[in-house]
Structure 1
Amino acid sequence: MTLLLLGGTGLADRIAEALSERGHPAILSIAHHPRGGQSAPLPLRVGGFGGEAGFQDFLDAEDISAVLDATHPFAHRISHRTARICAARGLPYAQVIRPEWVPEEGDRWTMLAREEEAADHIAPGSVVFLATGRQTLERFANLEGRRLICRQIDPPDAPFPLPDGEYLVGTPPFSVAEEEALFHELGVDWLVVKNAGGEAPRSKLVAARNLGLPVAMITRPVAPEGPCFDTVDAALAWVDEL
């Protein structure tokens, strides 16, 4: 049996380490090369598959017998495509996603189904911290008249795609105190976040709570049908059963 692990998250990295330690034949697929030249614990495939046909060809060429999907919770197109193809081929498929964040006492969250809805709540003239990544910035095009700040890990390779916007380069993790100081320095009025879950990224939500800042929380897309786990141990148990 050869397992295909779709990665790109910290959860996937921990699963890859455990699979290697247990000696499970597996291939780790990620979109980009690891930062800092880090070596992978499993045979590594980097880049896209070239669409549905390319993915099918890869499954055949590598004789993949099961797929464990540990991609980002918002990579829903990839997840739904993978689940559909696996179902058609009779391949076991499961998804592993870290638990969602839930509001706590003192949080000022506004739940959004789509990025475009942020403009309905954020007043012109506001300073908006977009902790959503650069891939979906175009969905905030209707936030004209607001100052937009998008944090990313790598230096930008192109200008900010929207007017009144800028990139801020920073390397996580960030402590609550660091986030509070940054939001205060920038004069942030709103924090916009995708509900990706996870402990390390939660610091910005705690900072917003401490500062009394409103948060626009983009809800997760619907996950594909099938087994879904939220811990490394549960995912490994599924692999062991196979």
Structure 2
Amino acid sequence: MSDRPILILGGTAEASKLATLLVAQGRRVISSLAGRTRDPAKLEGEVRTGGFGGARGLTGYIARENVSLLIDATHPFATQISDNALVAVASTQVPFVRLERPAWHPKPGDRWTSVASLEEAVAAIPTRARVLLALGRQHIASFSRRGDVHFVVRMIDPPETPLDLVDFELELSRPGKVEDETAFLTKKRLTLIVCRNSGGSASYTKIKAARDLGLPVIMIDRPHRPGTHTLIDIESVSQFVDEILGSLRART
């Protein structure tokens, strides 16, 4: 195992699987988590939790830890840490790759309304709708002005402060199988889903359930990101790590 660590900016299922694979290969891995989930799943390798203090803090951390390679495997909507990563890479010249799962695309039977922002999603909800808000707790406040809508807010952890919504109920759970999601949507008499185009399989089950039930979905598109070296699966990133670290060893 090299003393120089690979730093993974994580918090996604893909980041966890990548850390497991790299540690099994004998790599030293540090996974960085934002700390928003109170009881995250156990990760292989070393783990740090909390912010770095912006791009400057991340740059300093990379230098202090003598990081050999930076992997941005954060959520597709986690734009701030991804922007900080690009600044830090430019400053340190450390090798870099982004692991980003492909976006979802509508299939026959889907009833999507694509919007570019939370504000557009708020405006697109019809009056008297019963809406599943499948969003992180930091994205709920925008919907507070829709007192004419009943919201079912699903979260993994309870909110630290009361939700600023007029008519809502809170559901503390993770997405289940398609049949579980179908039963949940039916039981709650939901007429609409609002979610972000996160991609991946873990939270796609609600989209499949909505398609089967004929429910409309307001889909918030991914933010436009600067062009960077991006790979879409763990295997490709693992191969990239082999190539980069092999090249670094050849120089020493």
**Counterpart in the other structure of 2:241:** 239
Secondary structure (helix, strand or coil) at the match of 2:82 reads helix
Query: Structure 2 CA distance, aligned partners of 1:14 and 1:224?
Result: 25
- In structure 1, runs of 5+ residues without a counterpart are none
- In structure 2, runs of 5+ residues without a counterpart are 245-252
Q: What is the aligned-residue RMSD (CA, Å)?
A: 1.8
1:189-228 Cα deviation digits (max 9, x unpaired): 1101110111121110011111111000000112332210
**Counterpart in the other structure of 1:62:** 65
Displacement of 1:177 in angstroms is 1.4
Question: Which of these residues, 190, 194, 210, is aligned with residue 208 of structure 1?
Answer: 210
The letter of the residue matching 2:212 is N
The letter of the residue matching 2:67 is I
- Checking the alignment, whether the CA contact within 8 Å between 2:54 and 2:84 is kept in structure 1 is no
Within 5 Å, give how 1:31-180 maps onto structure 2. 31-32=34-35, 38-172=41-175, 174-180=176-182
Displacement of 1:143 in angstroms is 2.5
Secondary structure (helix, strand or coil) at the match of 1:144 reads coil
The letter of the residue matching 2:242 is D
**Counterpart in the other structure of 1:181:** 183
- Checking the alignment, whether the CA contact within 8 Å between 1:76 and 1:222 is kept in structure 2 is no
* Distance of aligned partners of 1:37 and 1:205 in 2 relative to their CA distance in 1, 3 Å threshold: closer
**Counterpart in the other structure of 2:195:** 193
Report the TM-score, using the length of structure 1 for normalisation.
0.93
Question: Which of these residues, 228, 231, 248, is aligned with residue 229 of structure 1?
Answer: 231
Q: 2:32 aligned with 1:29, yes or no?
A: yes
Displacement of 1:34 in angstroms is 7.3
Secondary structure (helix, strand or coil) at the match of 1:135 reads helix
Q: Larger deviation: 47-56 or 7-16?
A: 47-56
Query: Structure 2 CA distance, aligned partners of 1:167 and 1:54?
Result: 36
Question: Which of these residues, 219, 222, 240, is aligned with residue 221 of structure 2?
Answer: 219
Q: Larger deviation: 47-56 or 184-193?
A: 47-56
Displacement of 1:101 in angstroms is 0.6
* Distance of aligned partners of 1:37 and 1:30 in 2 relative to their CA distance in 1, 3 Å threshold: closer
- Checking the alignment, whether the CA contact within 8 Å between 2:22 and 2:29 is kept in structure 1 is yes
Displacement of 1:60 in angstroms is 1.8
Secondary structure (helix, strand or coil) at the match of 1:105 reads coil
Percent identity, please. 37
The letter of the residue matching 1:195 is N
Secondary structure (helix, strand or coil) at the match of 1:116 reads helix
Displacement of 1:119 in angstroms is 3.2
Query: Structure 2 CA distance, aligned partners of 1:202 and 1:122?
Result: 21
Query: Structure 1 CA distance, aligned partners of 2:230 and 2:158?
Result: 35
**Structure 1 outlier segments of 4+, above 6 Å:** none
Q: 2:19 aligned with 1:16, yes or no?
A: yes
1:121-173 Cα deviation digits (max 9, x unpaired): 2212111111112111122234331111110112333222222123211134x
Report the TM-score, using the length of structure 2 for normalisation.
0.89
